[in-house]
Amino acid sequence: MKIRKSLACAMAVAAISLSPSVEAQTLKIGLGTEPTSIDPHFHNLGPNNQIAQHFFSRLIEQDHKQNLSPGLATSWKALDELTWEFKLRKGVKFHDGSDFNADDVVFSFHRGGNHPNARSSFGLYTKGKKIKVVDDYTLHISSEKPYPLMAVDVSNVHIVSSNEKDKWEGEYNNGNSAHGTGPYKLVKWVKGEVLEMERYDGYHGNKPHWKKIIIKPIKSAPSRLAALLAGDVDFIDQVPTVDIARLKKEPKVQLSQGVSNRIIYLHLDQHRDNPQYVKTHDGKPVTKNPLKDVRVRRAISKAINRDAIVARVMEGVAIPAGQLLPEGFFGRSSKLKVEKYDPKGAKKLLADAGYPNGFQVTLHGPNNRYINDAKIVEAIAQMLTRIGIKTTPDTMPKSVFFKRGKNRGPEKPAEFNFLLVGWGSGTGEPSSPLRSLLGTYNKPKGWGSSNRGLHSNPEMDKVLDEALATVDDTKRAALLAKATEIGVGEDVGIVPLHYQVNTWAAKKGLSYKARTDERTVGYDVAP
């Protein structure tokens, strides 16, 4: 009710206050989630990556549907099954005036996979690759076995200057080292207040329309919407689901919507025998972790009414999920379906697993990262409690959640045992979440960096390895589907919930192409 009242009040003044910016060359954005760092290799996280691409270019860029296009590389091709050649763009300069060449790529790939303070490493895209400098503008990148996703992986690594050796996130955040080759230069970043950038006139690509972009972090959804309607900002992301239907009728607002590649899912601790946040039904410490039993994990999946979550919590703006990516993406399984809501079946599985009276668990999650995340946690807690798994919801700001929920492998697993998280596939196909979320933790290999439940199945790993070495698209798609069927279908290594449908709103006269990667990219807002 409070949200609707704030919307109504804001709309009352919209007619007089929603007008073009005083300076037509300035775009003001209200952003629901700000980055944790300007350092493009610090945290492989959506809010960080979307900001990074304003300042830092990649060898290969991705458009709003994740199609690949030339970036700092003008062309790329496979020389043989193991080696790819990349021709680099000449005449490109970093924001500090230094020249771009092959040495910067070598440095960036090493840094991306070996950042000492990384929250979530880019090693997922850099490990297992050897880079040979042929000349200043020619690179050969090779793998130990055939690797058809080379170009896709490369498109996820931002390039920084090799002049910035031994400079880490602090120097990037204060602007001293934030010198990329992207379309914008960092002016200032005051965390929690404002991020300002100005057009880089030496940019090698198309000249951006906006001379200046000002990003204001506005965590509160009603406040973000009110800021748009009051004319304080020109464009916002994460439009509240409760207000979408009404905004479609608002003549001063233009909406953009699209299904994303992000799945919202549950991680379950499949490693520890005595997890901290799992108790017996009468509140005593467990000596045997029930989450390690696939029957329990499947019972949890069956106990969740995904249709109800989509309809009531998400206001219809989501799609129930049964695997890692929605329809239309490469490598999906045709066999996996959305788990049917079946509380009776869930209770039977619990009894079969030796938990007829259930047990107690805490479900952790963020309260400001994903659409309606705290509400989803609460809804799931209620559903699980009904089948005998007494679930306590515990949500917190994303900065706290991801720090406490970070996985550093079997020796230092994530603090939480049962948690709600989201994952957007940077590659636009299942190998990214399979490697990161379900692959056996292997730091040298770059696998399992976000595998917070520490799921491990050698059979799935073997199939995924084969997929990643299969050049034939049809065969690779089938192998990716099979790996998904093992990790998600048979093992219930994660519990899929739904795919996000994202909504952006702009003042009338501006347009934005909804991105499958969910990113809010200022220079793509068109007047």
Q: In what order do the strands lie in the sheet with 129-135?
A: 73-78, 83-88, 138-143, 129-135
Q: Distance (Å, rounded) from C-alpha 433 to C-alpha 424? A: 8
C-alpha distances (whole Å) from 525 to each of 188, 213, 385, 522 are 21, 11, 45, 6
Span(s) in the chain for CATH 3.90.76.10: 55-163
Sequence-separated (6 or more) residues with CB below 8 Å from residue 240:
3, 221, 222, 225
Q: Distance (Å, rounded) from C-alpha 184 to C-alpha 371? A: 28
For residue 430, report the phi and psi dihedrals to the nearest 5 degrees: -70, -10
- Looking at residue 11, its pLDDT comes to 43
Q: Distance (Å, rounded) from C-alpha 421 to C-alpha 45? A: 12
Q: Distance (Å, rounded) from C-alpha 98 to C-alpha 83? A: 29
- Looking at residue 230, its pLDDT comes to 95
- Looking at residue 20, its pLDDT comes to 42
Q: Distance (Å, rounded) from C-alpha 269 to C-alpha 286? A: 13
Q: Distance (Å, rounded) from C-alpha 116 to C-alpha 39? A: 12
For residue 114, report the phi and psi dihedrals to the nearest 5 degrees: -135, 25
| Cβ–Cβ < 8 Å for 468, 149 | yes
Helix locations, 194-326, DSSP H: 221-229, 244-247, 294-302, 306-308
Tens place of pLDDT for every residue, the chain, 527 residues? 333 434 443 443 343 344 444 445 999 999 999 999 999 999 988 899 999 999 999 999 999 989 899 999 999 999 998 999 999 999 999 999 999 999 999 999 999 999 998 888 898 899 899 999 999 999 999 999 999 999 999 999 999 999 999 999 999 999 999 999 999 999 999 999 999 999 999 999 999 999 999 999 999 999 999 999 999 999 999 998 999 999 999 999 999 999 999 999 999 999 999 999 999 999 999 999 999 999 999 999 999 999 999 999 999 999 999 999 999 899 999 999 999 999 999 999 999 999 999 999 999 999 989 999 999 999 999 999 999 999 999 999 998 999 999 888 898 999 999 999 999 987 889 999 999 999 999 988 889 989 999 999 999 999 999 999 998 999 999 999 999 999 999 999 999 999 999 999 999 999 999 999 999 999 999 99
- Looking at residue 426, its pLDDT comes to 79
Fold (CATH) for 260-500: Dipeptide-binding Protein; domain 3 (3.10.105)
Q: Helix, strand or coil for residue 75?
A: strand
Span(s) in the chain for CATH 3.10.105.10: 260-500
What tokens were used for 213? 């972009």
Residue 93: exposed, middle, or buried by beta-carbon count in 10 A (0-12, 13-18, 19+)? middle
Q: b/e map of 315-341 (b: 16 or more CB within 10 Å)? A: bebbbbbbbbbbeebbbbbeebebbeb
For the segment(s) 55-163, the CATH number from 3.40.50.740, 1.20.120.160, 3.30.360.10, 3.90.76.10 is 3.90.76.10
Sequence-separated (6 or more) residues with CB below 8 Å from residue 379:
308, 309, 312, 313
| Cβ–Cβ < 8 Å for 427, 49 | no
| Cβ–Cβ < 8 Å for 428, 410 | no
Q: Distance (Å, rounded) from C-alpha 205 to C-alpha 481? A: 37
Polymer length of the chain: 527
What tokens were used for 322? 């049964």
What tokens were used for 423? 């994952």
